[in-house]
Amino acid sequence: MSERLNLTVEDGVGELMGELAGGERKRGQWLSDLVRAMHETESLAQSSDVEQLRLSFAGLAGSHKQLEGRVMGLERKVAAQGASGARG
């Protein structure tokens, strides 16, 4: 489920978000991930050391999965471009 928001940001921030997210259509997911990570970080300050480590690891694992997916997508694009270049 998603929630639609209208935000006003400083000039150039929308472009930066698109760049960081890997595309204009990915900005919402990127912002959602960022807010969740920041919330988790704030929550860590209030939790026990063991819980803090557990949550940190979970956050890192989630970030790793996200980056892994982005790399796989880029690899597919590169492979597709290589295949089309080899034919031409």
Residue 1 lies inside a defined structural domain of this protein: no
Kindly report the number of other CB atoms within 10 A of residue 31's CB atom: 15
Residue 2 lies inside a defined structural domain of this protein: no
The pLDDT of residue 8 is above 90: yes
Which residue range forms the structural domain that includes residue 20?
A: 13-87
The residue to which tokens 């290589």 are assigned: 82
Residue 50 lies inside a defined structural domain of this protein: yes
State how many domains the chain has: 1
Residue 7 lies inside a defined structural domain of this protein: no
Model pTM score: 0.49
**Amino acid at site 81:** Q
Look at residue 88 in the predicted model and tell me its pLDDT: 61
Residue 5 lies inside a defined structural domain of this protein: no
Residue 84 confidence class, pLDDT cut points 50, 70, 90? confident
Residue 78 lies inside a defined structural domain of this protein: yes
Residue 43 lies inside a defined structural domain of this protein: yes
User: Using one digit for the tens of pLDDT, what is the confidence trace for 12-60?
Assistant: 999 999 998 999 889 999 999 989 888 887 776 666 677 778 888 888 9
Look at residue 1 in the predicted model and tell me its pLDDT: 82
